[in-house]
């Protein structure tokens, strides 16, 4: 299952049905959900009966604390209220010109490589671009050199996370043991937390005039109590944006560019739409509404290659699900990629077809 989930999960789903048990090393039994309807019940309708107690969330909590991705319950609700205003469309529009500037700089690099005939590995280039944008959006003037300083640490944390997911025993043994990659992870995590905490404390002491996400998060407070986020909460949210938002975004962009480059008819339609609606200059956030086919291409790319291939949950309240009694403590594996590739849901599911997200065909 761990080596080839895209083969075995669909195969076992056809053989054993919408809900079946597997035994996983170091974890024990887990229920695998292959029905979109049952997944919706777990994640939406019966969400209060489940917690984020899977191994993957355990790994993420080590790296980014109790941010929006890993927290739940009342803490998640409070944090979401505090963080959400920072991502209001007006705020994102203010950051759009900076993002466009960084993208244009990368395009210039690619043009130079094309003229020289050199091949380019896009993944590290997109990873650097994403890290630069996150640093500039979060810290504005404090970001000079920030992306360069944290790049190595983020790579170390990501490498350890993948290793821990493949080898669960790394999570059981004390992290002070000199295990493969663990010392490097602890050093990089400590350095990342120190860098972020120092910036937060400096900004509290000398607020200045910064138009960035950190300023918004520092100013956010609960309506009922007037209480804002502590330094630890702020650090966890910043670490979440770096760890959870960096590699996933870079990989998504890499898959989009790969799919477009291997489908010339899609590339031609993209050029046609962009040239017709915005032939010159840099578009604003509002202008993006004029590019429906661009949106379709992004949605179809994420359907084929989701940034998160599975979700984990643990049952905390006994109930019925799909005709089965689910006892407390049952672990669930929800393979999102399986729903995206399910022929019962999507016609010709493994084909790249952006028109399946057109207004006429878009699923409800």
- At residue 327, the pLDDT reads 93
Number of Cβ within 10 Å of residue 222's Cβ equals 12
Phi, psi of 155, rounded to the nearest 5 degrees:
-60, -40
| 65-248 homologous superfamily | Cytochrome P450 (1.10.630.10)
Same topology, domains 1-57+305-364 and 65-248? Answer is: no
- DSSP letter for 49, please: G
Comparing 85 with 199, the larger pLDDT belongs to 199
Q: Tell me the C-alpha distance between 271 and 284, whole Å.
A: 18
Class of residue 275 by CB neighbours under 10 A (exposed 0-12, middle 13-18, buried 19+): exposed
Cα separation values, 17 from 6, 48, 141, 272, Å? 16, 25, 54, 45
Comparing 282 with 226, the larger pLDDT belongs to 226
The mean pLDDT of 267-273, rounded to a whole number, is 95
Domain boundary assignment for the chain: 1-57+305-364, 65-248
Residue 259 pLDDT greater than 90, yes or no: yes
Which of 25-39, 161-175, 263-277, 304-318 is least confident? 161-175
Percent of the chain with pLDDT over 70: 95
What residues contact 341, with CB distance under 8 A and at least 6 apart? 6, 10, 304, 349, 350
CATH class for the region spanning 1-57+305-364: alpha beta
pTM recorded for the entire structure = 0.88
pLDDT in tens, 179-211: 777 889 999 999 999 999 999 999 999 887 888
pLDDT-derived band of residue 301, with 50, 70 and 90 as boundaries?
Answer: very high
- At residue 20, the pLDDT reads 93
pLDDT-derived band of residue 144, with 50, 70 and 90 as boundaries?
Answer: low
- At residue 141, the pLDDT reads 61
What residues contact 211, with CB distance under 8 A and at least 6 apart? 94, 140
Q: Tell me the C-alpha distance between 257 and 11, whole Å.
A: 30
- At residue 2, the pLDDT reads 65
The mean pLDDT of 292-312, rounded to a whole number, is 94
Closest to 249 in 3D by CA, of 362, 349, 137, 111: 137
- At residue 286, the pLDDT reads 81
Angle at 265 between CA 261 and CA 270, to 5 degrees: 75
């Amino acid at each position: 299952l761990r080596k080839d989930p895209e083969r075995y999960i669909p195969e076992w789903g056809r053989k054993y049905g919408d809900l079946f048990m597997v035994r996983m090393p170091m974890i024990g039994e887990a229920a695998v959900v292959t029905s979109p309807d049952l997944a919706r019940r777990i994640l939406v309708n019966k969400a209060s009966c489940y917690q984020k107690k899977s191994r993957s969330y355990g790994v993420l909590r080590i790296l980014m604390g109790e941010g929006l991705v890993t927290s739940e319950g009342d803490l998640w609700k409070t944090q979401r209220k505090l963080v959400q205003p920072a991502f209001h469309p007006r705020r994102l529009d203010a950051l759009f010109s900076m993002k466009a500037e960084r993208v244009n700089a990368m395009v210039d690099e690619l043009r130079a490589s094309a003229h020289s005939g050199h091949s380019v590995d896009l993944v590290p280039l997109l990873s650097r671009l994403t890290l630069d944008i996150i640093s500039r959006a979060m810290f504005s003037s404090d970001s000079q050199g920030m992306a360069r300083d944290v790049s190595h640490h983020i790579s170390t944390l990501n490498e350890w996370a993948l290793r821990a997911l493949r080898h669960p025993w790394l999570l059981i043994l004390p992290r002070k043991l000199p295990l493969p990659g663990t010392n490097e992870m602890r050093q990089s995590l400590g350095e990342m937390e120190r860098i972020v905490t120092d910036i937060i404390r400096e900004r509290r002491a000398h607020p200045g005039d910064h138009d960035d996400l950190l300023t918004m998060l520092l100013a956010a407070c609960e309506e009922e109590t007037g209480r804002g986020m502590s330094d630890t909460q702020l650090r966890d949210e910043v670490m979440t944006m770096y760890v959870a938002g960096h590699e996933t975004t870079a990989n998504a962009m890499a898959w989009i560019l790969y799919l477009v480059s291997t489908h010339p008819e899609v590339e031609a339609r993209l050029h046609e739409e962009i040239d017709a609606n915005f032939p010159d200059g840099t578009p604003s956030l509002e202008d993006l509404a004029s590019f429906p086919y661009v949106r379709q291409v992004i949605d179809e790319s994420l359907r084929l290659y989701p940034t998160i291939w599975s979700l984990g949950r643990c049952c905390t309240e006994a109930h019925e699900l799909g005709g089965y009694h689910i006892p407390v403590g049952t672990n669930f594996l929800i393979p999102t990629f399986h729903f995206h590739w399910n022929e019962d849901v999507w016609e010709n599911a493994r084909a790249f077809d952006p028109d399946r997200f057109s207004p006429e065909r878009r699923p409800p």
